[in-house]
A and B are shown apart, each in its own frame.
Chain A
Amino acid sequence: MQGSIDNKNQSIQISGTAESVAVAHGHEEHPDLRIFGLFMFLVAESALFIGLFVAYLTFRAVAPVWPPEGTPKLELLLPGINTVILISSSLVIHQADSAIKKNDVAGLRKWFGITALMGVVFLCGQVYEYMHLEFGLRTNLFASTFYVLTGFHGLHVLVGVMLMLAVLWRSIKSADHYSSTSHFGVEAAEIYWHFVDVIWIILFILLYLL
């Protein structure tokens, strides 16, 4: 009896140490797996966007005239400003990451707040553009792809803004929620935001410039 208990205690000791080495359940001390998982998710997201881009390029390639005749020219000024806002927001959100790595929670809040605001401005700009465009969803193939692609990207911007607001809310609720050693939420939101940014650049080139 005594022997078996000893045995069990010993085995538990082994399993305890082995677990901390080999097994992670997404606890705070193992943010690396979650980042890896996020990258896997972004692989799938990229595939989705690439699929839509290639579909767009195919439509474009097989059409005799592109955009189809009668499509009004796209205004470049507003989406250009929007692009600048979105690209610079990627630099702003990186400040937040640097701040939290120095345990500066106030800095994190400030930079995340600014980035979220920039995201909202981008979305408002896009809605404004939609309202003033001279073509609708069903006008022609170009119009349909334009709305679906930008709309789908806009949805991702919205998700990014919501992620940032969630991080903000958490850091305001308890000041020590994020620290220099534990800030998966911050990193995840930042990586996602960079991803959304890259997608926009491709989208902007495809739809507006080409």
Chain B
Amino acid sequence: MTANISLPPVAEQSSPSHGHGERRWQDYFTFNTDHKVIGIQYMVMSFFFYLVGGLLAEGIRTELATPDPDLVDPALYNSMFTMHATIMIFLWIVPAGTGAFANYLIPLMIGARDMAFPKLNAVAFWMLPPAGVMLIGSFYFGTAQAGWTSYPPLSLTTGKVGEAIWIFSLLLGGTSSILGGINFMTTILKMRVPSMGMMQMPLFCWAMIATSALILIATPILAGALILLSFDLLAGTAFFNPTGGGHPVVYQHMFWFYSHPAVYIMVLPFFGIISEVIPIHSRKPIFGYGAIAYSSLAISFLGLIVWAHHMFTSGTPAWLRMFFMITTMIIAVPTGIKVFGWLATMWGGKISLNSPMLFAMGFLSTFVVGGISGVMLAAVPFDIHVHDTYFVVAHLHYVLFGGSVFGIFTGIYHWYPKAIGRMYSEFWGRVHFVMTFVGFNVTFLPMHILGLQGMPRRIAMYAPEFQTLNQVCTWGSYLLAVSTVPFLVNALWCWFKGEKAPDNPWNALTFEWMTSSPPEIENFEVLPVLTTGPYDYGVEEEEHLATIAS
């Protein structure tokens, strides 16, 4: 009874509306400033959009089961692939990585009670649902059809209303992303417990510094491009319209100056997640902490100077092509450093093949395929040969699905016990992994061959000789669709009926495991003190003390 009376005044001040009470389910549907609530809001919302985007993908694959446009007419097909990409990028992968995981984990990992700017955080989240609703709603008015790249002059001629909605949704999403980046940067740099220096941070925090830097520098350029595009669309200017003296290629430069770094915005958080998951489930210290941390920053920097490799066929002069070819190939170096670091961490470790580890290994194998086809595409002659074919589609899905989505599932399984307070079902987690891994490869591996044979992307019909492989892809995509069922059932069932999770089911060393599962409202009853490095698994106590002393 006395315990109730002696609540610290400081804690009361910082959350006046809730105190230290229980989290209520209604909180998840309101403007709540707790980073954990916001993290889960981001995750659930973005998963909903994953299902919407997935539904569109299944529509696309069903249409492509036959060479003729017999399921939907070509215009609707254009809308479908435009919306599929836009939703998957801006409402699933970006919010899941930089919204859900970063929000949920950063304060817990650095021993803070919340983000630096909790209200700003909630504002950033609540910008996204309207953006998503507008995008989906635009099907009623005729959606944007110019692809997620929305190149003018094409995007200026395919329906004003849909395109305007698309632009506005992206501006909202971009603003939300920037506000998030401000918060992550400030929180990580300024709010660590005093005992935690930069080199003792969990690697996820390093990854989020690199990601936030990209968000802050690159996203505004997309906003600039979209503002100019909206003037062209709505006010009749001609920034990007050659008929009025404008230059469409300037749009492409501005667009890709954001959208190539966006690839790293979409994958760096998952590099961070993989760096957390692999040492824990291999019971070994991470191999090359500094190398992995600094390579994130190197990727971030190099990611800003490779954008024009998307534009090798846009009349880019030869010397500029050369420059971007070289920078693009160099970016494989820091990425390779990470991959080797992860492999060396696993080497000789006591690997437990549970769901997070399986997805982490799935991430490694598929992401490396995507990375290598990326180096192939960086070579100018090869890129010109396969430009706008299914080879590019295969490559980007190996990076964004094989990389990001596998990373998302890795993170979900790994931190599910912490966030929900209950264990998921390991059996169904593994079933989910096998179905996803097989379904993914059956869907996207044949696309490499289709691309090399010359099948163009973004067209509802194709030459009949491509049909067999396309049907393989389509069946694979159905397996992929079904694979979400065991995940959803597992996640929802165990949310209510699962076995209670202990505070630290993985015997991990980072701070988020040193509080209750799920963490209390202000995260820690006592702020934790750093006594080990984040990944000192299998290290003797004396060595620990030596590391801390140094």
Q: Which residues of A contact B (CB under 8 A)?
A: 5, 8-9, 11-16, 18-27, 32-34, 36-37, 40-41, 43-45, 47-48, 50-52, 55, 58-59, 62-63, 68, 137-138, 140-141, 144-145, 148, 152
Report chain B residues within 8 Å CB of A50.
Answer: 221
Instruction: Among B2, B118, B246, point to the contact of A141 (Cβ < 8 A).
Output: B246
B192 within 8 A of A: yes
Determine whether the beta carbon of B3 is less than 8 Å from that of A5.
yes
Report chain A residues within 8 Å CB of B527.
Answer: 14-15, 18-19, 22-23
Q: Which residues of B contact A (CB under 8 A)?
A: 2-3, 6-11, 13-14, 111-114, 116-120, 178, 181-183, 185-186, 189-194, 216-221, 223-225, 227-228, 231, 235-239, 244-247, 250, 253-254, 257, 524-527
Report chain B residues within 8 Å CB of A32.
Answer: 190
Report chain B residues within 8 Å CB of A41.
Answer: 178, 182
Determine whether the beta carbon of A25 is less than 8 Å from that of B245.
no
Determine whether the beta carbon of A15 is less than 8 Å from that of B247.
no
Instruction: Among B11, B114, B182, point to the contact of A37 (Cβ < 8 A).
Output: B182
Q: How far is the CA of A106 from the CA of B526 in the complex (A)?
A: 44
Instruction: Among A37, A44, A62, point to the contact of B220 (Cβ < 8 A).
Output: A44
Instruction: Among B118, B178, B190, B194, point to the contact of A36 (Cβ < 8 A).
Output: B190
Determine whether the beta carbon of A51 is less than 8 Å from that of B192.
no
Contacts A14-B526, A15-B11, A19-B8 known; 15 new A-B pairs at CB < 8 A: A16-B10, A18-B526, A19-B14, A19-B113, A22-B191, A24-B116, A33-B117, A36-B190, A40-B185, A40-B186, A48-B220, A51-B223, A52-B224, A59-B239, A141-B238
User: Which DSSP category, helix, strand, loop or mixed, fits chain A's interface?
Assistant: helix
Instruction: Among B116, B190, B217, B244, point to the contact of A47 (Cβ < 8 A).
Output: B217
Report chain A residues within 8 Å CB of B13.
Answer: 27
Nearest-CB distance from B267 to chain A (Å)?
A: 21
Q: How far is the CA of A24 from the CA of B107 in the complex (A)?
A: 12
Determine whether the beta carbon of A8 is less than 8 Å from that of B3.
yes
Determine whether the beta carbon of B10 is less than 8 Å from that of A58.
no
Report chain A residues within 8 Å CB of B116.
Answer: 24, 26, 33, 36-37
Report chain A residues within 8 Å CB of B194.
Answer: 21-22
Instruction: Among B7, B247, B253, point to the contact of A12 (Cβ < 8 A).
Output: B7
Determine whether the beta carbon of B250 is less than 8 Å from that of A45.
no
Nearest-CB distance from A153 to chain B (Å)?
A: 13
Nearest-CB distance from B5 to chain A (Å)?
A: 10
Determine whether the beta carbon of A20 is less than 8 Å from that of B10.
yes
Instruction: Among B219, B224, B236, B526, point to the contact of A15 (Cβ < 8 A).
Output: B526
Determine whether the beta carbon of A12 is less than 8 Å from that of B224.
no
